[in-house]
Amino acid sequence: MKLNRTIVPSICIALLAAVFGFAAMTTNAQDNPPLNLARDGFFYIGGKTTKIKGKTHMAGQMYVEYRIPAKQTQPYPIIFVHGGTRSGANWTGTSDGREGWAQYFARRGFAVYVVDQPGRGRSAYVPEVYGPPRFADAESAQQRYLQQAKYNLWPQAKLHNQWPGTGEIEDPASHQIIGSFLPEVAFPGSVAFTHEAMVQLIDKIGPSIMLVHSQGGPLGWLAAEARPDLVRAIVAVEPNGPPGRTVRFVGAPDWFKDGGVELPYGLTPLPITFSPPIKDPSELNWVREDKPDSPDLVTCWKQAEPARQLPNLQRMPIALITAEASYHAAYDHCIVRFLNQAGVQPSWIKLAELGIRGNSHNMMQEKNSDDIAGVIAEWLRKNNL
């Protein structure tokens, strides 16, 4: 059966894929008429002036660009929060020259706000305040999402087929993504600086949807913690995880090894409200499960029962998006398990189950990025957002 793509927009394709199991199809230019905006601009929020060697500088400020559609049909704006070593550019275009998710949702009636976290991109880096920067490299990118099948560090890596290029360092698409790498504040300092500015942004624009990716994941949980009445939903696209300890990917036959504690509060490196309350993350009683659910999955760390609850995250709908070939496919179930223990019931959207296959962690830059955006748009619609 063929669908007439001049009639059926990508959001309907995603829905049909969910219901009937059709393979996802890439959106073409006819689905994207000229973007009609009422306003398009930027501002800075947060930050403080500081004296450095007798001169005044500013640090902690966050760049925010916005697109307000001429026909704003959706009630809540979307705040797009990028991940590590990236900037808001990750949401405004793809490595093969197509539009990004910011334009996709603006065209569908959402006001969109795209941030550069403090110390990243157009939010200037102040080493005297932020400390030595962390840098990304091309070889790490090849292992994680450009040529992950070649390196085969986790069981799902071989399923990757959606990168729009060869993945070789000198390939044009690779140059686009590698060229976007930026120095960043080392984790968890990046979260602390950004969280302060993010709360001010939510206070400024009002009830909002948080759409977060990777290192930006804790910022969604913390925003909902700080402003549970204003964060109307969280769309967590493979957010930082797994809970508590990191995972090292070592290839066959062992695949996984436990790393150090990076998220001491489970989902975040900063305090979050538990019930019963805790004064220190050492009060969380962690236990390691006896064995993984299957050989291609990480063995989870979780709370010992009775588990403490996360009351503020129980107040809004949450979607967790997992790609088929990503390293997150090996451990996102641990994030879901931790949330479930804490009384939170997210919608876990595994893209492969909708016929959207072969994606990496960097899915918003890949060939079928519009199909994934369509899945998110449909979830928002079903939740009256």
Residue-range domains of the chain with CATH:
10-238+313-382 (3.40.50.1820)
Say which residues have a Cβ less than 8 Å from residue 266's Cβ, sequence separation at least 6. 243, 244, 272, 284, 303, 338, 342
- 276 C-beta neighbours (distance < 10 Å), count: 8
Q: Catalytic residue at 214? A: yes
Catalytic residue among 174, 190, 208, 214: 214
| pLDDT value, residue 29 | 52
| Cα dist from 69 to 15, 90, 107, whole Å | 24, 20, 7
| Cα dist from 282 to 120, 257, 285, whole Å | 31, 22, 7
d(CA 309, CA 284): 11
Q: Which two tokens stand for residue 211?
A: 């759409």
| pLDDT value, residue 33 | 82
d(CA 171, CA 113): 31
| pLDDT value, residue 32 | 75
| pLDDT value, residue 179 | 95
Task: State the number of CA atoms in the 13 A half-sphere of 211 facing the CB.
Answer: 24
| pLDDT value, residue 11 | 40
pLDDT averaged per 10 residues, the chain (length 385): 38 38 42 89 97 96 98 97 96 96 98 98 96 94 96 98 96 95 94 97 98 98 97 98 96 96 96 97 95 97 97 98 98 98 98 98 98 98 97
